[in-house]
């Protein structure tokens, strides 16, 4: 890898981290306005004070302005191989536009306040509409940042990287893992993950911190006295990791932030970012400073975007909106409807295949391979809602009416443990299958790792050569998986065992969608956001995923 190529990759991370910093500054003001709007409605405040800040064009916040970094990124992108440069440039362009729109909304809000228009706006409806859009854009920013860094990291590691200083390289190897695990835990808090997998990640992080403390003399003993800054960075990173671990433990125990308007999880994630991102001189900032000092050719660490959650006032006019902070103006509904149809788009395009007796989505399995469908069902307490488990049951009932004698169905339920409720049985045994589903009882927490490991074991044992061997995971939440499970999913996909995920939720949250889409990418299956309108069709298409070969 040339020095120019190395710099071109890191330009993306530098610019992305600047955007995260801008998001953090703006989020503080958006949160203030949200609180001020609520007081205005609830307590009849006469005026709202707001001092607009210049952010993206302010040298006090950015020694090099983001717009100038963007130009450099674009110019230096030439040094990245042509087959690798297109997608990162597309993603950073989308990310750039999201932050630009947020800046425009920030200025619109400032004008709304400065002009006094808010005083004549009944219930501040225009102001809340701005904040509704802002909330969605923060979700988009988080998803785009995750996609971008994943793409850069995968591309960067195609290179065989030289070692300039073996001592530095050894230290960075250990600290790279520390940063990666800190990132994993921070993302888990962001996803409101309390699964056994998340707890295992915390335990691994704790053991890693202990190891680095214990072996500090081994790693730092050979550092020359005139390079004490390396020792300082090392010790500060351990300190930040300790703070992140304490935040994660507090999050699991829920010992703070009780009765907060935005909920405890929002504040726990903010705590994590203070010890992870640069504005708290966090783990990422320290790691990147060490990379700058050592000049070892590595990809810089990425900072994680904050979250903005809209809180509506306690007023009858907002009762219908307080159930879910993502409100339903026309533009949001249109976007959500588009997302709901994602799972059917595949059927529309593939239905054009010629010379096939049955098209995808047609109510028949004629011409399709024998099914070995393993339903992996999340039975955590939140799945009890009528738009979740009951919807899955009714959809499966229709599919069973089409199934042939040779098609197999099995059911595994998972919560804090995984249990095989129904070994492989003919899909024509409708009464028995539905009886098992009707007896499902929800529990408290869920452990996706245990569920998937049991499902893949069953898939191997019941494998049908040339058939549609597919795990269909039904869940309503986000989760993280350990590396062992990820390897299992990838390896099994190469052996023709696919994983599809059905996501049940009142809203299709982008950060959940993107995480689940990444998992089904490993499993070479499909992601489906399930609603009452598409559930039966989406399930039918899963059973039609493999055609009979002549």
User: How far apart are the C-alpha atoms of 377 and 415, rounded to whole Å?
Assistant: 9
Q: Which pLDDT value is given to residue 147?
A: 85
The H or E element spanning position 425 is: strand 418-426
For residue 236, the cross-strand partners are: none
The strand pair at 524-530 and 371-378 is best described as unpaired
Query: Six-digit token pair at 372?
Result: 């070995």
The 10 Å Cβ neighbour count of residue 141 is 27
HSE-CB of 8 using CA atoms within 13 angstroms: 20
For residues 55 and 103, the answer to whether their CB atoms sit within 8 Å is: yes
Single out the residue of 57, 197, 123 nearest to residue 479, CA to CA: 197
The tokens 């990422």 sit on which residue?
Answer: 284
Q: Which pLDDT value is given to residue 196?
A: 79
Query: What domains does the chain contain, in order, with CATH numbers?
Result: 1-162 (no CATH), 165-296 (1.20.120), 333-543 (3.40.50.410)
Q: In the 8-state DSSP scheme, what is residue 300?
A: P
Single out the residue of 48, 31, 30 nearest to residue 39, CA to CA: 48
User: How far apart are the C-alpha atoms of 125 and 160, rounded to whole Å?
Assistant: 56
Single out the residue of 286, 195, 172, 301 nearest to residue 248, CA to CA: 195
User: How far apart are the C-alpha atoms of 90 and 87, rounded to whole Å?
Assistant: 5
pLDDT tens for the chain, 550 residues: list them.
788 999 999 999 999 999 999 999 999 999 999 999 988 888 887 788 888 888 888 888 888 888 888 899 988 988 988 888 888 888 898 899 999 999 999 999 999 999 989 888 888 889 999 998 998 889 888 888 988 888 888 888 777 777 888 888 888 888 888 999 999 899 888 888 887 778 888 999 999 999 999 888 888 888 877 778 888 889 999 999 999 999 999 999 988 888 787 778 889 999 999 999 988 789 999 999 998 888 888 899 999 999 898 888 888 877 766 544 333 334 334 443 443 344 344 334 434 433 445 566 788 888 888 999 999 998 877 676 666 778 888 888 888 888 899 999 999 999 888 899 999 999 888 888 988 888 887 776 778 999 999 999 999 999 998 899 999 999 987 788 888 898 899 889 888 899 999 998 878 887 788 888 889 888 888 888 888 888 888 888 899 888 875 5
Single out the residue of 460, 479, 477, 459 nearest to residue 519, CA to CA: 479
Query: How far, in Å, are 87, 220, 334 from residue 232 at the CA level?
Result: 37, 10, 52
User: How far apart are the C-alpha atoms of 221 and 203, rounded to whole Å?
Assistant: 27
Q: In the 8-state DSSP scheme, what is residue 466?
A: T
Q: How far apart are the first and last CA of the chain?
A: 48
The H or E element spanning position 375 is: strand 371-378
Alpha helices in 281-428 (DSSP H): 283-294, 330-340, 342-350, 389-400
For residues 386 and 449, the answer to whether their CB atoms sit within 8 Å is: no
């Amino acid at each position: 890898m040339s020095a120019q190529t190395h710099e071109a990759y890191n330009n993306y991370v530098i610019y992305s981290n600047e955007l995260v910093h801008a998001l953090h500054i703006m989020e503080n003001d958006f949160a203030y306005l949200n609180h001020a709007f609520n007081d205005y409605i609830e307590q009849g405040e006469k005026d709202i004070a707001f001092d607009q800040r210049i952010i993206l064009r302010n040298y006090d916040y950015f020694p090099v302005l983001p717009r100038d970094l963007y130009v450099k990124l674009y110019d230096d992108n030439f040094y990245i191989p042509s087959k690798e440069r297109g997608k990162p440039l597309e993603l950073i362009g989308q990310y750039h536009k999201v932050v630009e729109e947020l800046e425009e909304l920030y200025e619109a809000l400032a004008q709304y306040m400065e002009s006094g228009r808010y005083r004549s706006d009944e219930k501040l409806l225009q102001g809340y509409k701005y904040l509704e859009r802002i909330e969605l854009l923060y979700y988009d920013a988080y998803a785009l940042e995750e996609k971008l860094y994943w793409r850069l990291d995968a591309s960067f590691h195609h290179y065989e990287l030289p070692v300039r200083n073996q001592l530095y390289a050894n230290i960075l190897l250990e600290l790279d893992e520390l940063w990666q695990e800190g990132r994993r835990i921070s993302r888990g808090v962001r996803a409101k993950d309390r699964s056994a997998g998340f707890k295992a990640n915390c335990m691994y992080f704790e053991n890693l911190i202990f190891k680095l403390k214990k072996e500090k003399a081994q790693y730092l003993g050979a550092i020359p006295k005139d390079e004490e800054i390396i020792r300082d960075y090392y010790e500060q990173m351990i300190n930040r990791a300790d703070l992140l671990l304490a935040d994660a433990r507090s999050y699991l125990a829920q010992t703070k932030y009780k009765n907060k308007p935005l909920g405890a999880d929002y504040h726990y994630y903010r705590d994590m970012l203070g010890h992870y991102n640069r504005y708290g001189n966090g783990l990422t900032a320290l790691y990147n400073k060490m990379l700058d000092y050592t000049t070892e050719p590595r990809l810089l660490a990425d900072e994680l975007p904050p979250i903005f959650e809209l809180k509506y006032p306690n007023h009858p006019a907002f009762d219908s909106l307080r159930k879910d902070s993502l409100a339903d103006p026309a533009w949001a509904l249109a976007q959500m409807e588009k997302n709901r149809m994602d799972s059917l788009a595949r059927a529309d395009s593939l239905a054009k295949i010629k010379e096939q007796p049955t098209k995808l989505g047609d109510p028949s399995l004629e011409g399709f391979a024998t099914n070995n469908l393993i339903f992996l069902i999340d039975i955590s307490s939140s799945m009890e809602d009528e738009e979740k488990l009951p919807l899955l049951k009714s959809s499966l009932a229709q599919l069973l009416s089409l199934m042939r004698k040779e098609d197999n169905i099995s059911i595994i339920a998972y919560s804090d443990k995984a249990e095989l409720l129904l070994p492989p049985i003919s899909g024509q045994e409708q009464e028995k299958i539905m009886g098992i589903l009707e007896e499902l009882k929800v529990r408290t927490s869920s452990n996706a790792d245990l569920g998937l490991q049991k499902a893949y074991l069953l898939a191997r044992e019941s494998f049908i050569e040339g058939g549609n061997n597919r795990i269909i995971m039904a869940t309503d939440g986000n989760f993280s998986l350990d590396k062992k499970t990820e390897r299992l999913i990838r390896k099994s996909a190469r052996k023709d065992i696919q994983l599809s995920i059905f996501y049940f939720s009142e809203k299709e949250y982008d950060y959940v969608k993107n995480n689940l889409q990444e998992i089904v990418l490993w499993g070479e299956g499909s992601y489906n956001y399930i609603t009452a309108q598409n559930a039966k069709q989406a399930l039918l298409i899963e059973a039609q995923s493999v055609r009979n070969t002549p």
